[in-house]
Amino acid sequence: MPHKQHTYNKIRESLIKMMVSQSLIPIAILALAIIFSVNAYDPSPLQDFCVAIDDLNGVFVNGRFCKDPVQVNAEDFFFSGLNVPGNTDNQVGSNVTTVNVDQIPGLNTMGISLVRIDYAPYGQNPPHTHPRGSEILVLVKGTLYVGFVSSNQDNNRLFAKVLQPGDVFVFPIGMIHFQVNVGRVPAVAFAGLSSQNAGVITIANAVFGSNPPINPEVLARAFQLDPYIVKELQARFGP
Ligand SMILES: *[C@@H]1O[C@H](CO)[C@@H](O)[C@H](O)[C@H]1NC(C)=O
How does pLDDT run across 199-222, given as a tens digit for each residue? 999 999 999 999 999 999 999 999
Task: Provide the pLDDT confidence category of residue 66 given band limits of 50, 70 and 90.
Answer: confident
d(C-alpha 168, C-alpha 183), whole Å: 17
At residue 56, does pLDDT exceed 70? Answer: no
Residue 16: per-residue pLDDT: 52
| Cα 125 to middle of ligand 1, angstroms | 13
- CA-atom Rg of the chain in angstroms: 22
Please give the number of the atom of ligand 1 that sits closest to the Cα of 88: 14
Do both 104 and 177 map to the same domain? yes
Do both 191 and 115 map to the same domain? yes
Do both 107 and 185 map to the same domain? yes
* Among 123, 102, 80, 119, CA closest to 198: 102
Do both 217 and 176 map to the same domain? no
Do both 134 and 226 map to the same domain? no
Task: State how many domains the chain has.
Answer: 3
Amino acid 78 reads: F
Task: Provide the pLDDT confidence category of residue 72 given band limits of 50, 70 and 90.
Answer: very high
Do both 189 and 221 map to the same domain? no
Residue 122 covered by a domain: yes
* Among 54, 115, 114, 47, CA closest to 86: 115
Do both 222 and 164 map to the same domain? no
Do both 122 and 172 map to the same domain? yes
Residue 164 covered by a domain: yes
Residue 59: per-residue pLDDT: 56
Do both 29 and 89 map to the same domain? no
Q: Is 142 exposed, middle or buried (0-12, 13-18, 19+ CB in 10 A)?
A: buried
Do both 177 and 213 map to the same domain? no
Residue 151 covered by a domain: yes
At residue 36, does pLDDT exceed 60? Answer: no
Please give the number of the atom of ligand 1 that sits closest to the Cα of 96: 1
Mutating to test ligand 1, I would choose from 83, 91, 95 the residue with most ligand atoms within 8 A of its C-beta, which is 95
Task: Provide the pLDDT confidence category of residue 52 given band limits of 50, 70 and 90.
Answer: confident
Do both 157 and 227 map to the same domain? no
Residue 50: per-residue pLDDT: 84
Question: Ligand 1 atom 10: the closest Cα is on which residue?
Answer: 87
d(C-alpha 48, C-alpha 74), whole Å: 14
Structural domain span for residue 233 = 209-237
- The mean pLDDT value for 1-25 works out to 55
- The mean pLDDT value for 92-98 works out to 98
Do both 123 and 191 map to the same domain? yes
Asked if 121 contacts 184 with a C-beta cutoff of 8 angstroms, the reply is yes
| Cα 106 to middle of ligand 1, angstroms | 24
**170 forms bridges with which residues in the sheet?**
136
Contact 90 CB / ligand 1 (< 6 Å): yes
Contact 91 CB / ligand 1 (< 6 Å): no
pTM score, two decimals?
Answer: 0.80
Residue 18: its H or E element: helix 2-22
- The mean pLDDT value for 104-118 works out to 95
How does pLDDT run across 172-189, given as a tens digit for each residue? 999 999 999 999 999 999
